[in-house]
């Protein structure tokens, strides 16, 4: 089996989990790690001595897919750079709503113009959870679905807090309240000379937090609080045909970055089976995410 060459762009919590997900896939190989900050190269090389670490993807030769394990707010700027090289991209953009649709529209034009494919929002939520939400509506087209996250560490929310001026380190925890409502518990270590109240206000007004009940706490040490476990509990109550009270649940308890990394690796595979353009996970046949021959997969899974 020939292997697709995958570059991992970024090496934070998710990037570190994308690498083993690719290594364990018989149809893919890690071509290298691309860092935007050259100061981190030496330390990362010590961690992954068997993988090239570069600042320019061109140093890695032919690349089939670039998995962008970078902050969501960097995706609109970074993804086009790779698509214009004819390299497929995969990301876990997690700013729900209009932001995803705007990104999809923009990257779709760029991907088609350069004979490439972009798979966006391909973590576990949005991502694999998007597929599950769609499946629940297949069974009960009318009704309500509640997505309850946590309790656990939210990677996207944590990154957003760390980007606020004056924050030295941070942790954002998601606490489910039920029926799709959540509390955000944010723990921050602030830099000397910065006002905690101003930082707290900036966090609460950030788009990641503004729609949820958010509490911000000042701490001296964030690392001692970190647990990367997370989870989701989806509930749907609806109608199949004219039959009411159809109830369905989906429950998942996970290591957050490992789950995101695994879905992104699968999305890299799926990207190579699509026509040029930009896709969300909901638009791609599930079988395209799986490793193996189509007939064998159908025989095993149907």
Q: What is the pLDDT of residues 279-293, one digit of tens each?
A: 999 999 999 999 999
Query: What does the pLDDT read at residue 27?
Result: 97
Q: Where are the beta strands (DSSP E) in the chain?
A: 4-9, 28-34, 53-54, 65-68, 88-91, 117-120, 142-149, 152-153, 167-178, 181-190, 213-218, 229-240, 243-255, 277-280
What are phi and psi for residue 59, nearest 5 degrees?
-70, -15
- Please tell me whether residue 13 adopts helix, strand or coil conformation: coil
Q: Which residues are annotated as a binding site?
A: 92-94, 122-126, 174, 184, 230, 256
- B/e letters for 36-50, b = 16+ CB within 10 Å, e = fewer, are eeeeeeeebeeebee
Q: Which residues are annotated as a binding site for substrate?
A: 174, 184, 230, 256
Query: What does the pLDDT read at residue 37?
Result: 87
Let me know if 252 is exposed, middle or buried by CB neighbors in 10 A (0-12, 13-18, 19+).
Answer: middle
Q: How far lies 253's CA from each of 178, 224, 230, in Å?
A: 16, 21, 6
Query: What does the pLDDT read at residue 131?
Result: 98
Measured CA to CA, the distance from residue 19 to residue 75 in angstroms comes to 19
Token representation of residue 179: 């029926």
Measured CA to CA, the distance from residue 230 to residue 214 in angstroms comes to 18
Query: What does the pLDDT read at residue 96?
Result: 84
> Helices 256-271 and 155-162, interaxial angle, to 10°?
100
**E strand or H helix at 127, and its extent?**
none
pTM: 0.93
Q: Are 137 and 250 in contact (CB under 8 A)?
A: no
Q: Which residues are annotated as a binding site for NADP(+)?
A: 92-94, 122-126
Domains and CATH numbers, the chain: 4-125+256-301 (3.40.50.720), 147-230 (3.30.360.10)
- Tokens 């961690």 belong to 47
Question: Which residue ranges in the chain fall short of pLDDT 70?
Answer: 1
């Amino acid at each position: 089996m020939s292997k697709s060459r995958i570059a991992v762009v970024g090496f934070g919590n998710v990037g570190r989990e994308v690498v083993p997900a690719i290594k364990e896939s018989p149809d893919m190989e890690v071509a290298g790690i691309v860092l935007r900050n050259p100061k981190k190269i030496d330390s990362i090389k010590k961690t992954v001595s068997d993988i090239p670490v570069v600042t320019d993807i061109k140093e890695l030769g032919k690349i089939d897919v670039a998995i962008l394990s970078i902050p969501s707010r960097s995706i609109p700027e970074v993804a086009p750079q790779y698509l214009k090289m004819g390299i497929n991209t995969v990301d876990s953009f997690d700013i729900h709503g209009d932001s995803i649709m705007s990104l999809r529209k923009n990257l779709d034009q760029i991907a088609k113009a350069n004979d490439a494919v972009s798979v966006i929002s391909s973590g576990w939520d949005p991502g694999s959870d998007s597929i599950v939400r769609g499946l629940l509506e297949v069974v009960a087209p009318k009704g309500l679905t509640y997505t309850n996250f946590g309790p656990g560490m939210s990677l996207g929310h944590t990154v957003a807090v760390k980007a606020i001026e004056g924050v030295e380190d941070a942790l954002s925890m998601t606490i489910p309240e039920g029926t799709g409502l959540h509390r955000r518990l944010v723990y921050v270590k602030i830099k000397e000379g910065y006002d905690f109240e101003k930082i707290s206000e900036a966090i609460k007004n950030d788009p990641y937090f503004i729609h949820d009940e958010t509490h911000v706490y000042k701490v001296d040490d964030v690392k001692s609080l970190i647990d990367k476990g997370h989870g989701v509990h989806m509930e749907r109550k609806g109608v199949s045909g004219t039959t009411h009270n159809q109830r369905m649940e989906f429950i998942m308890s996970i290591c957050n970055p490992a789950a995101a990394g695994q879905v992104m690796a699968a999305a890299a595979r799926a990207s190579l089976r699509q026509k040029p353009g930009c896709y969300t996970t909901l638009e791609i046949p599930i079988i395209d995410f799986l490793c193996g021959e189509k007939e064998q997969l159908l025989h095993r899974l149907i």
